[in-house]
């Protein structure tokens, strides 16, 4: 895991166009021009907020996906909105290999060490079993469900690991 570089844009944009990636994401596929905006916003969050997105790469430094910490714009529930939200998206070639669990775990370890990192939330479609498993592995517990443009989504919460 590392910060994004400009060289990551092409594989980042390509990932968001993959049908397998967008299967459980209501706003995907994401056109290249919109990815340019998203890519820059993800990176500027580090300066503005002190947290943001991590690029996940393999041992050859090839882009696999991203784990992000951000403030979402939804209105799902009073105990959900306003918290730091986590998300992870990986290119289809990285699916099922444990990269998401490992990278999300590392990102949350980093978050736990920050003074602002006491609580985070995440959400995914109730049928997105792979993301549900990743969330549970790194300590998220079900908070409830809500409706959005994709249908029913699972809201989850994680409290800092104090071990």
Domains in the chain, please, with CATH?
6-117 (3.40.630.30)
DSSP 1: -
Tokens of 62: 């090839």
DSSP 7: G
pTM score, whole prediction = 0.89
pLDDT of residue 103: 97
pLDDT of residue 162: 56
119 vs 59: CA distance, rounded Å: 31
pLDDT of residue 75: 65
Contact 94, 64 (CB under 8 A): yes
pLDDT of residue 34: 87
DSSP 103: H
pLDDT along the chain (163 residues), means of 10: 93 92 77 86 83 95 95 70 89 95 96 90 90 95 84 88 57
Phi, psi of 56 (to 5 degrees): -105, 125
pLDDT of residue 108: 95
């Amino acid at each position: 895991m590392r910060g994004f570089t400009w060289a990551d844009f092409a594989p980042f944009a390509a990932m968001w166009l993959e049908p397998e990636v967008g299967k459980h994401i209501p706003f995907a596929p994401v056109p290249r021009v919109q990815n340019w905006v998203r890519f820059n916003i993800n990176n500027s969050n580090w300066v503005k907020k002190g947290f943001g997105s991590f690029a996940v790469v393999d041992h050859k430094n090839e882009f696999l996906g991203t784990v992000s910490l951000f403030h979402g714009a939804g209105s799902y529930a009073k105990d959900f909105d306003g918290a730091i939200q986590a998300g992870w998206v990986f290119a289809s070639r990285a699916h099922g290999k444990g990269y998401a669990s490992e990278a999300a775990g590392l990102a949350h370890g980093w978050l736990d060490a920050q003074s602002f990192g006491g609580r985070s939330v995440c959400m995914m479609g109730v049928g997105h079993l792979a993301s549900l498993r990743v969330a549970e592995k790194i300590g998220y517990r079900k908070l409830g469900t809500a409706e959005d443009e994709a249908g029913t989504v699972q809201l989850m919460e994680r409290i800092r690991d104090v071990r």
